[in-house]
Amino acid sequence: MSETYIGAIEDHCPNATLVLDRFHVVKALNKAVDEVRKEQWRNACADERKALKGLRWLLFKHSSNRSKKDSRILNALRKGNRRIHRAWVLSDEFERFWDYKVEWAAKRFLKRWMTTALKSRIEPIRKFVRTIKKHIGRILPYIGSRLTNAIGEGLNRIIKIVKNRASGFRTLHPFTDMIFLTVGDVDIPAQIPAKFRAL
């Protein structure tokens, strides 16, 4: 969601539809929820901190990956810490946005969610809402296109692993060969002549 990237794309590709990656939107929301948790941690006394311990990763879990025990712990925050509970509920509700099939319905949901989030008076969440408002025209096209950067991000991760494992390459050619060997769809055993195969 960097202005530099957005500006470059809109300047050089004026007819392209820019779709912000779902991962980065979710990451921004998780960051906002984590800011609420950190703020509450800083203001909590020793006893209150015991109840907040271990919440960080639990708050980031997608609802489909949460156990019943996880849900009970998070629901207990309704009495223990209403601000963290409210931020978590808003984050959980936002997940539904990605399931919409038509843009007009997704836009209606997003507007209702933003109104509710602004009424929460939780500043990190309100900041996230301002980000959504700013980029709404770049987030909504996801609903129709389902475009995501996941494959590209996955390939980048594998390339970094290849580079780190080799502790660097002297020239570009061996590096590109290793990338193609690692992520390419080459069936290496099939390339070995039959007379040289061990099995």
Dihedral of CA atoms 149, 151, 154, 156 in degrees, nearest 10, equals: -70
Burial letters for 30-48: b for 16+ Cβ neighbours within 10 Å, e otherwise?
eebbbbbbebbbeeeeeee
What is the predicted pLDDT for the residue at 182?
87
CA distance to 16, 84, 94, 142, 174, per residue, from 101 (Å) = 21, 30, 15, 10, 45
What is the predicted pLDDT for the residue at 199?
64
Q: What is the pLDDT of residues 49-59, one digit of tens each?
A: 887 888 888 89
The encoded tokens of residue 21 equal: 């990656």
How large is the average pLDDT for residues 162-188? 86
Q: What is the pLDDT of residues 92-149, one digit of tens each?
A: 999 999 999 999 999 999 999 999 999 999 999 999 999 999 999 999 999 999 999 8
What is the predicted pLDDT for the residue at 194?
83
Q: Kindly report the pTM of this predicted structure.
A: 0.80
Which residues does 40 contact at the CB level (< 8 Å), separation at least 6? 52, 81, 83, 84
What is the predicted pLDDT for the residue at 107?
97
Higher pLDDT, 32 or 168: 32
Domain ranges of the chain: 3-145, 150-196
Residues in the chain: 199
Give the amino acid at 144. Answer: G
Assess whether pLDDT exceeds 90 at residue 30: yes
What is the share, in percent, of the chain residues with pLDDT greater than 70? 99
Mean pLDDT over the full length of the chain? 91
The C-alpha atoms of residue 59 and residue 73 are separated, in whole angstroms, by 10
